[in-house]
Amino acid sequence: MVFLLVEMTDKMKLYFQHSPSGVMMVKYFLVKVPGYLFYAIPLAILMGGMLSLMMMARNSEIIAMQANGIDALSVARPVLLIGVLASLIMFVANETVIPWSNSESERIQRVIEGKEDTTFFKRDQIWMRSPDSIILIQKFDKSQQTLERVSIVRWNGNYDFTERIFADKAKWWDKQKQWVFYGINRTTRTPDGKFHVDSLPSAVVALKHSPADFDRVEKVAKEMNLTQLGDYIDKLTEEGQAPTRYVVDWHDKISFPLVCLIMAALSVPFAVRVNPRGGGVAVGLALSLIVAFSYWIVHTMFIALGHGGYIPPILAAWAANVVFGLTATILLLQAGT
């Protein structure tokens, strides 16, 4: 509900700017729900385990278990089992439902903004259509503001062919707000119906779209599963690109679902160690929020360092799991003694 309220507040500007139908807005928020649940489940596992065990401790059930020879590790087993099952569900969802949810929500937003019919993204190609032209771009580099292997076909009001342009590369000239094309092969049709072909090393070509228009169609890791992301990394590597950011995201897709198991493991020692008469639900809630947000901050920090190339991708994706996983293991072992 918190995620949903924040999203609704953020997207109110879409409603006032574009006046979409209520059905369209409801559909947008509904397709976002799987993404909200994906990030809420780890917190739910932590809070559920911690609050349940604290209520048991408050009613002296934990003491009764320990008096009958049941140690903390035995108490932890069903909680850990729930963590394992939740991690498996998270992993499957991250491979199926979550990429669809992210992609579909972006598509609906483009429909609301009136941009659905102008841009199409298929695998490694960008197609852009307008009333008088169609453009094919093989790759967009956001950081360099360049387009690679661009093809443009134009026609007149009667749908008669007028011009076709092939270019190896296009670079955005920010000062003049224009695209400069390089390695151009151009075919034009003269008024008498003849075709003229010429080649140019570079030229300014009229293109209505700025880099901001291509930003949303750059490959986004959250809209791909592991296989698709791996293929895209291989393609970038073959082209001589540095796919560091995507490698980090690839490892993150494997590591992050395990947070459910880690949160389940952390819920047990805190619940067993805390004074059962010292706050109960309030203490459990506070501890759960502190632990969950601490993990999120540490994980986000390491991912950002990995995206920036400051640490290896595998370390960036797994560091938070290692830190909190070891912490959970040590606390569990101490609670069991």
Last residue of a domain, one of 193, 215, 237: 215
Q: How far apart are CA 312 and CA 282, in angstroms?
A: 40
At residue 109, the pLDDT reads 82
Is 5 domain-assigned?
no
Q: Say if residue 194 is in the same domain as residue 254.
A: no
Total domains in the fold of the chain = 2
Q: Say if residue 204 is in the same domain as residue 257.
A: no
Q: Say if residue 130 is in the same domain as residue 210.
A: yes
At residue 270, the pLDDT reads 73
Q: Which of 217, 262, 251 is nearest to 84 (CA)?
A: 262
Residues of the chain with pLDDT under 70: 115-125, 213-219, 239-241, 272-281, 284, 336-337
Q: What is the pTM of this model?
A: 0.67
At residue 260, the pLDDT reads 94
At residue 42, the pLDDT reads 92
Last residue of a domain, one of 215, 239, 262: 215
Is 231 domain-assigned?
yes
Q: Say if residue 271 is in the same domain as residue 249.
A: yes
Is 18 domain-assigned?
no
Q: Say if residue 179 is in the same domain as residue 238.
A: no
The separation between the first and the last C-alpha atoms of the chain, rounded to the nearest angstrom, is 40
Q: Say if residue 247 is in the same domain as residue 266.
A: yes
Q: Which domain holds residue 48?
A: 35-88+221-335
Q: Is 269 helix (H, G, I), strand (E, B) or coil?
A: helix
At residue 18, the pLDDT reads 79
At residue 118, the pLDDT reads 47
Last residue of a domain, one of 215, 235, 256: 215
Is 114 domain-assigned?
no
Q: Say if residue 303 is in the same domain as residue 162.
A: no
In order of 12, 14, 18, 53, 103, the CA distances from 22 in angstroms are 12, 12, 12, 43, 20
Crossing angle of the two packed helices 22-58 and 2-10, in degrees rounded to 10: 150
